[in-house]
Structures are given as C-alpha cells and as structure tokens.
Amino acid sequence: MAPLVSIGPSLWDKLEALGMASSYDVCAPPSMERLKGSLPGIYYAWSSGGRVPLLKVLFTNRCARDCKYCAFSALVDVPRYTFEVEELVETFLSLYRQGLVRGLFLSSAIPQCPDDTMEKMVGVVQRLRVRERFRGYIHLKILPGTSSELAMKAARVATRVSVNLEAPRESILRAIAPSKSLKGEILPLVGALKKGFTTQFVVGVGGEKDLHILRAVEVLNRSYGLKRAYFQAFKPVAGTPLENHPPGSRERQLRLYQGEFLVRCYGFTPQELVDPQGNLPRGTDPKSHWVLTHLHHFPVELEKATYHQLLRVPGIGPRLARRVLALRARGELSLLHLEKAGINLRKSGPFLLMKGRKVVKDPYNQRRLGLE
C-alpha cells in the first residue's frame, strides 16, 4: 500500500517494524484493533467519545531481556530498529496534522538500562507537550526497572501510564520471564506512582490460577489505585522457547475481564467467584454463575437493599444501583420509576421485592429460576 504521508524508506521500515511490533506487545489492550488499510502502527482505542485512532509503537524492539513468550527477546533473531527521539516526534506530528491519529501509545523493549530508554520515551512526550503544545492523549508504558523518579516524571507528562505485572506471583513471572522481578523492579514502580495506572497479565502460560490474578487485581486496586487490568491470552511465537506451548484460551481471557470488573467495580471478592480449583466458571459469565449458585440471597428488598446487594441482582450494575438508591431517597420506588430509571423488570424483577411483594409476578420465570 502506498504511504499516505511523506515518510522516507528507512523511516517507513521502522514504522512498519515497530508499529507491527506493538501488535505483539503483550502490553496492548485487546480493545485496540488495527485500522485496516491504514499505516502501520495506527490502532483504534475505545474512549467515552467513541473510537480514537492512536499511533501505537515501540520506541525500540532491541531487548536485552529473555522473556520466553516474547517475539523481541534477546533469544530471538529478528531485525532490530530504534527511533530517534526527534524522528518519532516528527512522525507522530505528521500523522496527527493529517488527521490520521489523535493520540500516542508508546511502549518499548529494553535494550540495556531501563532508565536510558525510558528517558528517551519521556523526552518524546515532553517535546510534544512543551514544544508542540500537544494536549491530546498519550499513554506511556513504564518499563520494568525504571527508577521511581523517572516513573513519576513519566506519569506527570502522560495522560495515562501502565506498569505490566505480566504474572500474579514472583515464581510464575520467573518461570516465563527470568530476568524480570515483581518485588525487585515492578512493584516498587506501582508503589511510587502517584496517579492511577493500568496493568496487564499474560494468561495461560505460567500455570497461574484465575484466583491468583483476581487477588492481585484486588490488592492493586485497593492499595495502589489500579484503574484497570488487561489480559493477554498467551500466543506462541515461532523461534521462542515457548513456541510449542499451547495458546491461552480466549474464553478464559473473556472470563477474566468479566471477573476483574466484578472485583474492581461490584465489590465481589475473588474467592466468591472462583470454583474450588481456583478458576472462574467457563460457559457462563461469573455474575450469572454466582447468582445461580446463591439463589438463597434473593429476592432482595428494594426498601432496604444496600448498594452492594443491588449490584448482585442480575441486570443491575453500578449506574443502575445508584439510580435505585436515588429513587428510594426521593420516595419514588415504583414499577414505573424503576423502568424509567432503566431497570429491566423482566431480568431483574424476579430477584427483587418491593415492600415484601415480588416486583414482577412471572410464574414461569420464578419457577425456572427456583425463586418460587
């Protein structure tokens, strides 16, 4: 495909390699998808305003580390590229001015000292912010082993930062990424950051249980301001030590997203959601499974239910739970008001009582759900 912007051949090669490289980057949220037919490195991210095209690139794919799942580890023989700071700034500006991207997602491999590479990545952002007065979205990946001071500097200039744990336990991380350390270089960063961060786990390769991951999410969210966790189902890469390892399950990835949301936003504990083997149920979403195995918790009396009790009712999430509480505070609990507030009475009604009476008399549903 012919380039849409004026980019020289060597820069084009870099953009193609480092933009494509970021699609392997296990730091990448799965909500980002490649813009079909566009320049390499341009991906969509989802925001409240809709789909936003981002330039998503690695600063370099040269790496001294030996993560066994990674296409750019020192163990793999691939062509290596590195941007110059000014070159990446100009490339981004060129794409931005032509309306092809609206933000930047910058990650990197680690050629030697993490601070050296991180300093250059922060340099890119500073030039965009200060010299070019770019106020748009910039996501910076904080590299493992970065000093706390530099991580905080990155957090000040970026819109969002992320620190990838990759695995929920030190022993699991050591097995898949021998030169990374949770205690030695990743958790100190998490502790140093003064604003929220996102993280990511590779799943299906280290023998980790869903319970391990959800517990880590719970602790990070409560104590360190984790905004969101992403999960990357392991994909074997040719030429790596794990090339013959089976891929991670996409369904497991989905269930982890659902479980993570329930722990972070609904107040479920990880232990409540997993089976005796420590894994989320398969074949159904974790909230539905919890409801069907805890029918004795229902129906819930709307006149007395707490916020967290409402969150466990099928069809009710944080927004609707707050609306129900607001209706109750105004003395407006009625079927009409509930429906107007967005409550799906067919779905949620069988699990609710109003002044001691079933909110919806639906004998078929009651019998089917075992609530009669």
Structural contact between residues 200 and 167, judged by C-beta atoms closer than 8 angstroms: no
Pick between residue 58 and residue 211 the one whose CB is nearest to ligand SF4. 58
Q: Specify the stretch interacting with ligand SF4 by CB under 6 A; choose among 68-76, 182-190, 229-237, 330-338.
A: 68-76
List C-alpha distances in Å: 330 to 70, 317, 322, 353, 359: 56, 20, 12, 18, 19
Among 22, 60, 73, 91, binds ligand SF4 (CB under 6 A): 73
Find the largest Cα–Cα distance for the chain: 73
Q: How far is the CB of 318 from ligand SF4 (least distance, A)?
A: 34
In the numeric block, the tokens 């849409």 are attached to 4
Binders of ligand SF4: how many residues, by CB under 6 A?
9
Q: How many residues does the chain have?
A: 372
Question: Taking CB under 6 A as the rule, which mask of x and - marks residues 172-211 in contact with ligand SF4?
Answer: -----x----------------------------------
Cβ-based nearer residue to ligand SF4, 239 or 342: 239
**Nearest approach, Cβ of residue 72 and ligand SF4 (Å):** 4
Residue 59 or 266 with smaller CB distance to ligand SF4: 59
Q: How far is the CB of 172 from ligand SF4 (least distance, A)?
A: 15
Nearest to 194 by CA among 163, 218, 169: 163
Nearer of residues 72 and 83 to ligand SF4, judged by Cβ: 72
Q: What mask, x for binding ligand SF4 by CB under 6 A, covers residues 160 to 179?
A: -----------------x--
Q: Which of 15, 42, 54, 63 binds ligand SF4 (CB under 6 A)?
A: 63
Residue 34 or 80 with smaller CB distance to ligand SF4: 80
Query: Of residues 98-117, which lie at the interface with ligand SF4 (CB under 6 A)?
Result: 109-110
Nearer to ligand SF4, 2 or 238 (CB): 238
| Least distance (Å) between residue 278 CB and ligand SF4 | 26
Considering the complex, what minimum distance in angstroms separates the CB of residue 66 from ligand SF4? 6
Is residue 70 a contact point for ligand SF4 (CB under 6 A)?
yes
Beta carbons of 321 and 356 less than 8 angstroms apart = no
Among positions 67, 104, 124, 173, the unique one binding ligand SF4 when judged by CB under 6 A? 67
Rounded to an integer, what distance in angstroms lies between the CA atom of residue 80 and that of residue 362? 64
Give the Å distances, CA to CA, from 108 to 159, 197, 257: 17, 17, 25
Cβ of residue 141: shortest distance to ligand SF4, in angstroms? 9
- Closest to ligand SF4 by CB, 109 or 343: 109
From 35-43, 70-78, 96-104, 253-261, span contacting ligand SF4 (CB under 6 A): 70-78
277 to 316: interface string for ligand SF4, x by CB under 6 A: ----------------------------------------
Of positions 15, 40, 56, 65, contacts ligand SF4 by CB under 6 A: 65
CB of 122 to ligand SF4, least distance (A): 18
Minimum distance of ligand SF4 from residue 297's CB (angstroms) = 43
Residues that bind ligand SF4 (CB under 6 A): 63, 65, 67, 70, 72-73, 109-110, 177
